């Protein structure tokens, strides 16, 4: 899951980014509206966590531009304004959800995850392949009934492969969807994470390496049970 956080109050922005990354999300952050539009023009985000009162380009204008362009990115608007009129106004200009400051972080996580599910093709709430079971909501994964001690990145890679249901996932796609813009495109991070993930999954191996293609769980065109 790729998320853009747009928040001009840097301590809050850093706290949100740290929390979302701890949940295994790939997160980029900017501190003004102009930078947000530049990022949105280059990268496809599942969710945009958008402060309403931004310097430069106002959050309202960003909402309207994304709505006019029929962007698939879902918008969670953050604001200190909590009146019914403000909420209706924010939703009316293109926001998908609205959260007032201060907020409880578990609620922010839940709302971001809910919006991300709406931004992508529907997948089952619990993902299966053979004796592997992964529950995104509880952040748990099992094989043959044994819980897997996965890091946040390992969990995110496994989740992404399972949602692709037999389709080949390239290294570039994993860097795009699981890491963030700070990731070096020439890094071996994907290869190293895949090595550790395979070791934790054990035998028989379930992640195939496709020559000149990437990685895959399951046969082509297989569906997630």
Q: Which among 43, 92, 97 is positioned nearest to 74, based on CA atoms?
A: 97
pLDDT of residue 223: 43
CB 208 within 8 Å of CB 215: yes
Q: 195 and 148, same structural domain? A: yes
pLDDT in tens, the chain (225 residues): 889 999 999 999 999 999 998 888 889 999 999 999 999 988 889 999 999 889 889 988 998 898 888 888 999 998 876 656 666 665 667 788 988 888 899 999 999 988 887 766 656 678 989 899 999 888 899 999 999 999 988 999 999 999 888 888 888 888 888 887 766 666 788 889 999 999 999 999 999 988 877 899 877 654 433
Q: 71 and 14, same structural domain? A: yes
Helix, strand, coil proportions of the chain in percent (round to 5)?
40, 20, 40
pLDDT of residue 119: 61
| 5, burial (CB in 10 Å: exposed 0-12, middle 13-18, buried 19+) | buried
DSSP string, 84-151: HHHHHHHHHTT-SEEEESS--HHHHHHHHHHHHHHHS----SSEEETTEEEETTTTEEEETTEEP---
pLDDT of residue 174: 87
Q: 150 and 110, same structural domain? A: no
| 56, burial (CB in 10 Å: exposed 0-12, middle 13-18, buried 19+) | middle
Q: How far is Cα 165 from Cα 220, in angstroms, rounded to an integer?
A: 8
Collapse the DSSP code of 192 into the 3-class scheme (helix H, G, I; strand E, B; otherwise coil) and give the result.
Answer: helix
pLDDT of residue 225: 39
Q: Is the dihedral of CA 26, 5, 114, 44 positive or negative?
A: negative
Q: 131 and 94, same structural domain? A: no
User: Which DSSP symbol is given to 169?
Assistant: B
Last-in-domain residue among 85, 100, 119 = 119
Determine the structural domain holding residue 101 and report its residue range: 2-119
Per the rule left: phi > 0, alpha: psi between -120 and 50, beta: everything else, 12 is alpha
pTM for the full predicted model:
0.68
Last-in-domain residue among 94, 119, 144 = 119
Q: Which among 213, 119, 117 is positioned nearest to 166, based on CA atoms?
A: 213
Q: 182 and 76, same structural domain? A: no
Residue 101 maps to which CATH number?
A: 3.40.50.2300
Last-in-domain residue among 101, 119, 137 = 119
Q: Is 98 part of any domain? A: yes
Tally of domains within the chain: 2
Q: Is 60 part of any domain? A: yes
Torsions phi, psi for 157 (to 5 deg)? -65, -45
Collapse the DSSP code of 159 into the 3-class scheme (helix H, G, I; strand E, B; otherwise coil) and give the result.
Answer: helix
């Amino acid at each position: 899951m790729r998320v853009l956080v747009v928040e001009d109050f840097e301590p809050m922005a850093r706290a949100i980014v740290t929390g979302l990354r701890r949940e295994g999300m790939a997160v980029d952050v900017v501190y003004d509206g102009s930078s947000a539009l530049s990022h949105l023009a280059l990268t496809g985000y599942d969710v945009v966590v958008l402060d309403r009162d931004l310097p430069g380009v106002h959050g309202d204008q960003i909402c309207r531009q994304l709505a006019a362009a029929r962007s698939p990115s879902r918008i969670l608007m953050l604001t200190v304004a909590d009146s019914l009129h403000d909420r209706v106004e924010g939703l009316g200009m293109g926001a998908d959800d609205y959260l007032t400051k201060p907020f409880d972080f578990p609620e922010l996580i839940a709302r971001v995850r809910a919006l991300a599910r709406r931004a992508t093709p529907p997948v089952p709430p619990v993902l299966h392949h053979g004796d592997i079971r992964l529950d995104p909501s509880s952040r748990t994964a099992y094989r043959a009934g044994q819980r897997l001690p996965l890091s946040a990145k390992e969990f995110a890679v496994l989740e992404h492969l399972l949602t692709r249901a037999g389709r080949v996932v390239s290294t570039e796609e994993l860097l795009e969807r699981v890491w963030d813009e700070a990731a070096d495109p020439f890094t071996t991070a994907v290869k190293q994470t895949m090595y550790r993930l395979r070791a934790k999954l054990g035998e028989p191996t379930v992640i195939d390496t496709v020559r000149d293609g990437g990685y895959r769980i399951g046969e082509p065109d297989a569906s997630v049970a």
